[in-house]
Homo-oligomer: A and B are copies of this chain.
Amino acid sequence: MDDDSLRRGKPTNHKVFGEDIAVLTTDALIALAVEKMATSTSLGVSPERVLRAVVEMAKAVRTEGLVAGQAADLSGEGMSLEEDRARLEHLEFIHIHKTAALLEAATVTGAIMGGGSDGEIERLRKYARCVGLMFQVVDDVLDVTKSSDELGKTAGKDLIASKLTYPKVMGVEKSREYADELNREAREHLHAFDSAKVAPLLSLADYIVNRQN
């Protein structure tokens, strides 16, 4: 792989192998992840905690998680939502269930398996939800403010696909402010933790809000 393809990224699974194999790959990866988790008692995690983590992951995927978000996304394409509030609600529903649910599961399962208290787990859940939503707000802003070359992917494709985005609902400036607000909120949920221990989570949030591609 040369420098240019590294910078631009590689073509996605469904472009190279077709949609059918791409779908099968996701099913296999989810199953492999569940298996990996379910056998992690060998690392000294109690079966009760492992089961609780498995349930968290299943919830992130099922009809109140990723699947709900994707179904809403599909049903909303080309949908005309005249009122700003209705548009924003539809948009947040999609991203809370798609992007944020997965970030939440990744964070919370770690907290559960690592022995976190109920309070710690819930604070980390709120942090992850803010960061997940923030990721999507930033993504939407970059799509309308950067060139394809800067992004390393096609810019403006949300506009072409007549997709609902944050800049479309609230404008670019308000979207940027909203991302900053989500970053502040995410950081607040980590206040009660040892600052040295949560440093990587704080810089992850900063990285996401400041990324340029």
**Chain A positions near chain B (C-beta within 8 angstroms):** 20-21, 23-28, 30-32, 34-35, 38-39, 41, 46-48, 50-51, 54-55, 57-59, 61-63, 65-67, 70-71, 74
Contact A71 B32 (CB under 8 A): no
A34 touches B34 (CB 8 A): yes
- Contact A55 to B39, CB < 8 A, known contacts A28-B63, A67-B24: yes
Q: Which chain B positions have C-beta within 8 A of A34?
A: 34, 54, 57-58
Cβ-defined contact, B31 with A67, below 8 A: yes
State how many angstroms separate the Cβ of A128 from the closest Cβ of chain B: 19
B74, A58: Cβ atoms closer than 8 Å = no
Kindly provide the distance from the CB of A131 to the nearest chain B CB, expressed in whole angstroms: 23
Tell whether, in the assembled complex, residue A62 and residue B31 are in contact, meaning their CB atoms are under 8 Å apart.
yes
Q: A28-B67, A51-B51 are in contact. List 19 more A-B contacts (CB 8 A).
A: A21-B71, A21-B74, A25-B67, A27-B66, A28-B61, A28-B62, A30-B61, A31-B65, A31-B67, A32-B58, A34-B57, A35-B54, A35-B55, A38-B51, A38-B55, A41-B48, A41-B51, A46-B47, A47-B47
What is the bound-complex CA distance between A55 and B63, given in angstroms? 22
Closest CB of chain B to A24's CB: distance in Å?
5
Q: A39: which B residues are within 8 A, CB to CB?
A: 51, 55
Nearest B-chain residue to A33, judged by Cβ: B58
Please report the C-alpha to C-alpha distance between residue A48 and residue B39 in the assembled complex, in whole angstroms: 10
Q: Nearest 3 CB-CB pairs, A to B?
A: A47-B47, A31-B62, A35-B58
How many angstroms between the C-alpha atoms of A129 and B24 in the bound complex? 22
A108 CB to nearest chain B CB (Å): 15
List of B residues within 8 angstroms of A54 by Cβ = 34-35, 38, 51, 54
User: Please, could you name 19 A-B residue pairs with CB atoms under 8 Å apart, sorted by A?
Assistant: A20-B74, A24-B71, A26-B27, A27-B30, A28-B63, A30-B61, A32-B58, A32-B62, A32-B63, A34-B58, A35-B59, A38-B51, A38-B58, A39-B51, A39-B55, A41-B48, A46-B47, A47-B47, A47-B51
- Complex Cα gap A27–B24 (Å): 11
